[in-house]
């Protein structure tokens, strides 16, 4: 489990196609405390560390993961939000995030708003119904609060600090992002579905 509080920006160092795609990510994280088999959220996608190198770790992504997330678009040099898995006793600073991406959204527009930036996103209809004003959503592994919703589009405000310590400061309209809906919204919708049957 994760919180959506990004702790480092990694950089894709190399890609190798084997049975799955092996991805090397350079990082400033303390790799001494990360075991082989540990989970790291990479742009919001929970991946398993399969090897470590000097200043980098390796993960593998299946064809399914590549097709359902933005990971298939990564190239050497791509920058990636990183978060290590929660440990018992860690602060839950964002919201509960599983690292299981529900779909890919698109940045429709970005505009300045004070020191922040207001982003508008468009998501597939099947996940739009789970996104509500003042609810939480994880976008590229970042826990964000939804400001407004209209159909299959919604807006969030990203403060200057978050822009500086994540990849959001580099984002541009037209970019694609990994979307994970709030776990609570998923279960409430499922309960409501059974309540009406």
Question: What is the mean pLDDT of the segment spanning 31-35?
Answer: 93
Best CATH choice for the domain 8-84 from the list 3.90.1300.10, 1.10.287.1770, 1.10.1060.10, 2.40.30.20: 2.40.30.20
Residue 43 has pLDDT above 90, yes or no: yes
Question: What is the mean pLDDT of the segment spanning 164-177?
Answer: 98
Q: What is the pLDDT of residue 90?
A: 64
Longest dimension (CA), the chain: 55
Q: What is the pLDDT of residue 186?
A: 67
Q: What is the pLDDT of residue 87?
A: 72
Domain assignments of the chain as residue spans, ordered by start: 8-84, 103-195
| 108 burial via Cβ count (<10 Å: 0-12, 13-18, 19+) | middle
**How many whole angstroms separate alpha carbon 169 and alpha carbon 44?**
17
Q: What is the pLDDT of residues 65-124, one digit of tens each?
A: 999 999 999 999 999 999 998 776 666 666 788 899 999 999 999 999 999 999 999 999
Q: What is the pLDDT of residue 105?
A: 98
User: Mean pLDDT over all residues of the chain?
Assistant: 92
Q: What is the pLDDT of residues 45-56, one digit of tens each?
A: 999 999 999 999
Q: Does the fold of domain 103-195 match that of domain 8-84?
A: yes
Q: What is the pLDDT of residue 86?
A: 74
Query: Which residues fall within 8 angstroms of residue 80, CB to CB, at 6 or more apart?
Result: 9, 10, 11, 12, 25, 42, 43, 74, 167
Q: What is the pLDDT of residue 89?
A: 60
Query: Where is pLDDT greater, at 57 or 190?
Result: 57
Q: What is the pLDDT of residues 16-28, one digit of tens each?
A: 998 899 999 999 9
The CATH code of the domain at 103-195 is 2.40.30.20
Task: Output the 3-class SS for the chain.
Answer: CECCCCCEEEEEEEEEECCCEEEEEECCCCHHHCCCCCEEEECCEEEEEEEEECCEEEEEECHHHHHHCCHHHCCCCCEEEEEECCCCCCCCCCCCECCCCCEEEEEEEEEEECCEEEEEEECCHHHHCCCCCCCEEEECCEEEEEEEEECCEEEEEECHHHHHHCHHHHCCCCCEEEEEECHHHHHHHHHHHHHCC
pTM: 0.91
R_g (Cα) of the chain, nearest Å: 17
Q: What is the pLDDT of residue 196?
A: 57
């Amino acid at each position: 489990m994760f919180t959506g509080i990004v702790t480092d920006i990694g950089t894709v160092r190399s890609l190798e196609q084997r049975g799955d795609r092996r991805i090397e990510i350079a990082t400033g994280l303390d790799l001494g405390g990360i075991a082989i088999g540990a989970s790291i959220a990479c742009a919001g996608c929970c991946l398993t560390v399969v090897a470590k190198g000097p200043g980098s770790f390796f993960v593998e992504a299946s064809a399914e993961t590549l097709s359902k997330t933005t990971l298939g678009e990564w190239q050497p040099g791509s920058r990636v939000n990183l978060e290590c898995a929660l440990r018992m006793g860690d602060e839950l600073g964002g919201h509960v995030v599983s690292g299981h991406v529900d779909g890919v959204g698109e940045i429709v527009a970005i505009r300045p708003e004070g020191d922040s930036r207001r982003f508008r996103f468009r998501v597939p209809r099947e996940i739009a119904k789970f996104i509500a004003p003042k609810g939480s959503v994880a976008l590229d592994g970042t826990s964000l609060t939804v400001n407004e919703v209209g159909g299959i589009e919604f807006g969030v405000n990203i403060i200057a600090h978050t822009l500086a310590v994540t990849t959001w400061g580099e984002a541009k309209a037209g970019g694609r992002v990994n979307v994970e809906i709030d776990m609570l919204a998923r279960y409430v919708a499922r309960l409501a579905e059974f309540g009406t049957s």
